[in-house]
Amino acid sequence: MQMTLAEIAQLVSGDLDGDGSIKIHDVAKIEEAQPGEVSFISNPKYAKFMETTGASAVIVSRDFPVTKHPTIRTDNPYLSFLKVLIAFHPEEETVAQGVHPSAVIHATARIGANCRIGACAVIDKNCRIGENVTLHPGVVVARDVQVGNNTVLHANVVLREQVCIGNNVIIHSGTVVGSDGFGFAREGEHYLKIPQVGGVIIEDDVEIGSNCSIDRATLGNTIIRKGAKLDNLIQVAHNVEIGEDTVIAAQTGISGSTKIGRHVIVGGQVGFVGHIEVGSNTTIAAQSGVSKSLPPDAIFFGYPARPIMQAKREEAALRKLPELLKRIAAIEAKLKQTEQ
Q: Catalytic residue numbers?
A: 238
Q: What's the CA gap between 69 and 160, in Å, rounded?
A: 54
3-state secondary structure of 217: coil
Q: What's the CA gap between 142 and 247, in Å, rounded?
A: 27
Q: What's the CA gap between 59 and 197, in Å, rounded?
A: 52
The string over 144-163, giving b where at least 16 C-beta atoms fall within 10 Å of a residue's C-beta and e elsewhere, is bbbbbbbbbbbbbbbbbbbb
Q: What angle do CA 130, 136, 140 make, to 5 degrees?
A: 75
CB 226 within 8 A of CB 166: yes
Listed residue (287, 257, 260, 247) closest to 271, CA to CA:
287
How would you classify residue 126: left for phi > 0, otherwise alpha for psi between -120 and 50, otherwise beta?
left
> Is cis: bond before 90, omega within 30 of 0?
no
Q: What's the CA gap between 182 and 195, in Å, rounded?
A: 10
CB 173 within 8 A of CB 156: yes
Q: What's the CA gap between 98 and 204, in Å, rounded?
A: 24
